Amino acid sequence: MTIDLTWPETAGEPVLAAVHRVLHAVVELGGAVGHLTPPAREVTDPWVAATLAAVTEGEARLALAAVDGTVQAMGLWRRSPEAVFRHSAEIGKVMTHPAARGLGLGRLVVAGLADDARAAGVETLTLRVRGNNHGAIALYESLGFREWGRLPNVVEVGEWRFDEVSMYLDLGRPPGLILHGSAPGGPGGSPAPARG
């Protein structure tokens, strides 16, 4: 068995068809990837094209994992569009086709995305995951991601409500930065209100 991780840059038919195949199969089984029903090509093709347009601008990267030449898993990172968050990116659409689960493709994709984002100068990766997706949460934690917040019961799937878990991974920072955190002062700061 041969497993390869590729980074497409153009939205040709093989890439469009492969992404649709994986996304459709994952959503069909209730996967938490942003669709309530399996999407048609009319939905996935423009999304892939827009993602790959962002890739050519250095704003994103799409990773596809193939097993013996067939794409079976995917994921992406995308920079924040806001100027003050340009050093951060969000991971999304991480999924493995049901026929290829258990091969370690999710780990391969997420680890590859983290390495690629680091090489592109991203300092912090974030992601969001449905609270009942314990396997994905454990995978992310094993790769160094940590939970930083949780919105209870905000993900709607019919009559069901699920938590949205927010996680982050620090990819390192260039030397010479001032890490001010939440300390008082600095640009945009304001004094704490007086107590009493």
The pLDDT tens digits along the chain (196 residues) read 999 999 999 999 999 999 999 999 999 988 778 788 888 999 999 999 999 999 999 999 999 999 999 999 999 999 998 888 989 999 999 999 999 999 999 999 999 999 999 999 999 999 999 999 999 999 999 999 999 999 999 998 889 999 999 999 999 999 998 888 888 888 888 888 888 7
Residue bearing tokens 């890490």 = 179
With both helix axes pointing from N to C terminus, report the angle between 134-142 and 105-119 in degrees, rounded to the nearest 10: 50
Which CATH architecture does the domain made up of 3-170 adopt? 3-Layer(aba) Sandwich (3.40)
Residue bearing tokens 């930065």 = 177
pLDDT of 178 reads: 87
pLDDT of 48 reads: 95
pLDDT of 191 reads: 83
* Alpha carbon separation from 162 to 41, 87, 134, 148, 165 (Å, rounded): 28, 30, 12, 17, 9
pLDDT of 43 reads: 93
Which amino acid, 3? I
Cβ distance 47 to 57 under 8 Å? no
CA distance 126 to 58: 18
pLDDT of 188 reads: 83
pLDDT of 35 reads: 84
pLDDT of 184 reads: 87
CA distance 115 to 96: 19
**What sign for the dihedral angle of Cα 144, 48, 46, 78?**
positive
**What sign for the dihedral angle of Cα 84, 180, 76, 157?**
negative
What is the pTM for the complete model shown? 0.92
User: What are the tens digits of pLDDT across the range 32-55?
Assistant: 787 888 889 999 999 999 999 999
pLDDT of 137 reads: 96
Q: Which one-letter DSSP state was computed for residue 43? A: H
